[in-house]
Amino acid sequence: MQDLTMQLRDTARSLLRDGKVGLVIGYEHGSVLLRTKPCFVRNADDTDRLVWSPLCENNIASYLLSIKGRTAVFVKGCDARALLCAISEGQIRREDVTIVAMPCEGVLDRRKLAERLQGRQISGGTVQDGKVTVVGQGFSESYPLSELLPVGCVHCTHRTAPVFDIRIGDAAPEIEAIDDYADVKAFEALSPDEKRAYFRQELASCIRCFACRQACPLCYCVECFVDQTQPTWYHKTGDLSDTLLYHVVRALHLAGRCVGCGACSRACPMGIDLTVLNRRLLRDVQELYNYVSGLDPEAAPLLSAASPDDPQEFIK
């Protein structure tokens, strides 16, 4: 991992020094233990701030939407796919971005770690060689990273960028299990009453901060439908119906675009598992239209293409 960080810094330094890019986006250590934050480097002398580890959890593709000029970005597989999706939608110009593919073994799910810690405070922690090691007063424990992965990483099918300009490290090992959407199928089998009850319970804690929308690299509308007032689709009430409406529409607006990175769920301060909605659409999109987003920057977006061969079993 140290090695990757060194290679990353070298790459960033030479890209900036040679004037190939004006800006590098990566990650640096955060002010909180076991956290990183996005890092923006414009000067070749500052590249030592950059780091690479399974703590690099934000989907940094989102920053490219608001940045002009040539930029290099150090990406995990999911970041790259979101970026390629935004390119295919005409939001980012491919020639402006230098995609540096990094190997990814999944990111650390802070909530799963917190469950293991059961309220104990940690004073230090590292993630290295697939092991998460934490130390605190009177304890030192180590867990396999594979047990502390968020939903998005558990089901990840593309760990390294499918399209890139530079690759650092080896390509991540192939994923043995192809995503079979067993979780989606299990949820689908519930009765409508059970599904309603689940969302009633799950969304009751939603405070509508829209962090899920902000964290998503593909939620880039200049004016979100929740902010529109003429007409008002989304009402600022305490009614759970409006919360559900928001979450349904958020997921729908990502249909055929979502890459399943799970940035929305990780951003949620209330710990709501939003992937339940997103993964249903991922499954449908793949099963009905044989479409996987974010693999080809030239591909037409799913919902702006039509085909007479689409399944029509639901049509009267």
The answer to whether residues 81 and 295 touch, using CB atoms and an 8 Å cutoff, is yes
Per CB under 8 A, does 316 bind other proteins?
yes
Per CB under 8 A, does 179 bind other proteins?
no
Amino acid at 304: S
275-289 and 240-252 are packed helices; what angle lies between their axes, rounded to 10 degrees?
Answer: 40
Instruction: Candidates 17-25, 51-59, 112-120, 278-286: pick the segment binding other proteins (CB under 8 A).
Output: 278-286
Report the alpha-carbon distance of residue 116 to residue 110 in Å, rounded: 10
From candidates 188, 207, 270, 271, binder to other proteins by CB under 8 A: 188
Per CB under 8 A, does 128 bind other proteins?
no
If we measure between CA atoms, which residue out of 94, 91, 35, 59 comes closest to residue 216?
Answer: 59
3-state secondary structure 98-128: EEEECCCCCCCCHHHHHHHHCCCCCCEEEEE
Amino acid at 240: L
Per CB under 8 A, does 135 bind other proteins?
no
Q: Contacts with other proteins: how many residues (CB under 8 A)?
A: 45
From candidates 262, 285, 292, 294, binder to other proteins by CB under 8 A: 285
Instruction: For the segment 51-80, give every residue that binds other proteins (CB under 8 A).
Output: none
* Token code pair at residue 50: 């950059």
When the beta carbons of 33 and 245 are compared against other proteins, the nearer one is 245
When the beta carbons of 120 and 196 are compared against other proteins, the nearer one is 196
DSSP 224: -
Per CB under 8 A, does 183 bind other proteins?
no
When the beta carbons of 49 and 253 are compared against other proteins, the nearer one is 253
Per CB under 8 A, does 189 bind other proteins?
no
3-state SS, residue 93: coil
When the beta carbons of 137 and 191 are compared against other proteins, the nearer one is 191
Phi, psi at 41, each rounded to 5°: -115, 125
From candidates 274, 280, 292, 294, binder to other proteins by CB under 8 A: 280
> Angle at the Cα of 173 (from 75 to 25), degrees rounded to 5?
10
Per CB under 8 A, does 37 bind other proteins?
no
Min CB(241)–other proteins separation in Å: 5
The residue whose two tokens read 């799913």 is 302
Instruction: For the segment 196-255, give every residue that binds other proteins (CB under 8 A).
Output: 196, 199-201, 204, 225, 233, 238-242, 244-245, 248-249, 251-252, 255
Min CB(213)–other proteins separation in Å: 16
When the beta carbons of 222 and 306 are compared against other proteins, the nearer one is 306
When the beta carbons of 42 and 236 are compared against other proteins, the nearer one is 236
Amino acid at 292: V
Min CB(188)–other proteins separation in Å: 7
3-state secondary structure 14-70: HHHHCCCCCEEEEEEECCCCCCEEEEEECCHHHHHHCECCCCCCCCCHHHHCCCCCC
From candidates 28, 183, 284, 296, binder to other proteins by CB under 8 A: 284
Report the alpha-carbon distance of residue 183 to residue 113 in Å, rounded: 22
Contacts to other proteins by CB under 8 A: 187-188, 192-193, 195-196, 199-201, 204, 225, 233, 238-242, 244-245, 248-249, 251-252, 255-256, 276-277, 280-281, 284-285, 288-289, 302-304, 306-308, 310-312, 314-316
